[in-house]
Amino acid sequence: MAQIVGGLATSHIPAIGNAIARGKQQEPYWKPFFDGFPPIHAWLRQVQPEVVVVFYNDHGLNFFLDKLPAFAVGAAAEYRHADEGWGIPTTAPLAGCPELSWHLVEQLTAAEFDLTVCQEMQVDHACTIPFQLFWPDQQPAPVQIVPIHINTVQFPLPTARRVYELGRVVGRALGRWDDARRVAVMGTGGLSHQLEGERAGFINKRFDLQFLQSMETNPQWATQFSDRELVELAGTQGVELLMWLAMRAALTEAGSGVRLVHRHYHIPISNTATGVLALEVLP
C-alpha cells in the first residue's frame, strides 16, 4: 500500500518561469509570492515524496479545441516540457511512473470514469512550474509523476462534483496500490483570475479565501457550484481551482484527516490572485 504523505497546490502562471530563470525571487514584485514556499520546502525535505500525482489543466499544448478530453491520464515514462507560446525557458523532462499510471487507469475505469490515456504527453507551464516552485534546488524535481489533465478550457466543463469524485477515486486507488512508495497529490492553477473579455483582470479575494478555508475544513464546499457559477465567482481561468478540489478529494481517502502545513495568498502575480497550500495527511 502506498503512503499518501499529503497534498500540494499552487497557482501556475507562466511569468513565474521567467522570474525563476532570471533569479528575481527577491525583487519587490516577486518576493511576496516566493515567500509562500520555504515552510513547504522544509516539510517536503521531511516527508520526501517519491511519486506525485498532479492534477493540472492543459492550455492548448497537448490538446487543442479540436480534440479536448474532459479527463486525460499520462502513462508515459517521461513528460517533456514544450514551448507553448509564452516564451518561458523550457525545463528538463519530468520522470513518469507508468506502473502507477496504469493502476490509476484501471481503478478509475472500474469506477466508471471514461478516460483518455496518453502514452505520450507533452506538458505545459501548469505542470512544470509547480515542480520548479516546490523543489527549487533540485531540477528536475527528484520525483516521478503521474499527470492528470482536467479540461478547464472548453465549456461545458466537468462539474465540480464530478471532479471531486475523480479525486476521491484516485485517493482510494493510491491506498490500493501494491507499492510502498511515498506519494503526494498536487493540484495546480487558480485562484481567481480572468485573462480575457470584459472582465479581464477580475479577482475575487473574498471567494478565494473562502475556498482556501474550505480546503482545510470543508473539502466538499466548492462542489455546490456549476461551471458557470465558478466562472462568475472566480473568473474564466479561476475555474482552475477544480485541480485543487481533485487534490483535496484524494486526501479524504487517506488517513484520518489533514493538518495544515502552510498556506499563502498574494494578489497579484500577472493577472492572478495566487494561492499556495500544503496539507499533511494524518495517520
Q: State in angstroms the smallest separation of the CB of 42 from ligand DHB.
A: 27
263 binds ligand DHB (CB under 6 A): no
**Site map 181..200 versus ligand DHB, x via CB under 6 A:** --------x---x-x-----
12 binds ligand DHB (CB under 6 A): yes
In the list 2, 4, 13, 16, the residue contacting ligand DHB (rule: CB under 6 A) is 13
What are the grid coordinates assigned to 183, written together?
506519494
Q: State in angstroms the smallest separation of the CB of 14 from ligand DHB.
A: 5
CB closer to ligand DHB, 49 vs 189? 189
CA angle 126, 202, 217 (to 5 degrees): 65
* Choices 98-106, 129-137, 159-167, 269-277 (CB under 6 A): range interacting with ligand DHB: 269-277
CA–CA separation, 52 and 4 (whole Å):
10
Q: Scanning residues 55 to 84, which ones bind ligand DHB (CB under 6 A)?
A: 59
- 264 has catalytic annotation: no
- 266 has catalytic annotation: no
Three-state SS string across 96-129, please? ECHHHHHHHHHHHHHCCCCCEEECCCEECHHHHH
Q: State in angstroms the smallest separation of the CB of 257 from ligand DHB.
A: 30
What are the grid coordinates assigned to 80, written together?
517533456
CA atoms lying within 13 Å on the CB side of residue 90 = 11
In the list 272, 275, 277, 279, the residue contacting ligand DHB (rule: CB under 6 A) is 272
CA–CA separation, 103 and 203 (whole Å):
38
Q: Does residue 190 contact residue 179 with C-beta atoms inside 8 Å? A: no
CA angle 219, 225, 230 (to 5 degrees): 105
* Choices 8-16, 177-185, 224-232, 244-252 (CB under 6 A): range interacting with ligand DHB: 8-16
CB closer to ligand DHB, 24 vs 181? 24
| Percent helix, strand and coil across the chain, each to the nearest 5 | 35, 25, 40
In the list 271, 276, 280, 281, the residue contacting ligand DHB (rule: CB under 6 A) is 271
CA–CA separation, 212 and 228 (whole Å):
20
CA 275 to chain centre: 11
**Residue type at 261?**
V
CB closer to ligand DHB, 189 vs 219? 189
CA–CA separation, 12 and 129 (whole Å):
6
266 binds ligand DHB (CB under 6 A): no
Q: State in angstroms the smallest separation of the CB of 7 from ligand DHB.
A: 19
Report the residue number whose CB is nearest to ligand DHB.
270
- Active-site residue, selected from the candidate residues 125, 149, 264, 266: 125
Q: State in angstroms the smallest separation of the CB of 235 from ligand DHB.
A: 10
Q: Scanning residues 23 to 62, which ones bind ligand DHB (CB under 6 A)?
A: 59
* DSSP β-bridge partners for residue 272: 269
Task: Write out the E strands in the chain.
Answer: 3-10, 51-56, 71-74, 78-81, 94-96, 116-118, 122-123, 144-150, 182-188, 257-269, 272-282
CA 97 to chain centre: 17
Q: State in angstroms the smallest separation of the CB of 13 from ligand DHB.
A: 4
**Which residues bind to ligand DHB, rule: CB under 6 A?**
12-15, 59, 189, 193, 195, 237, 240, 270-272
The residues assigned a catalytic role are 125, 193
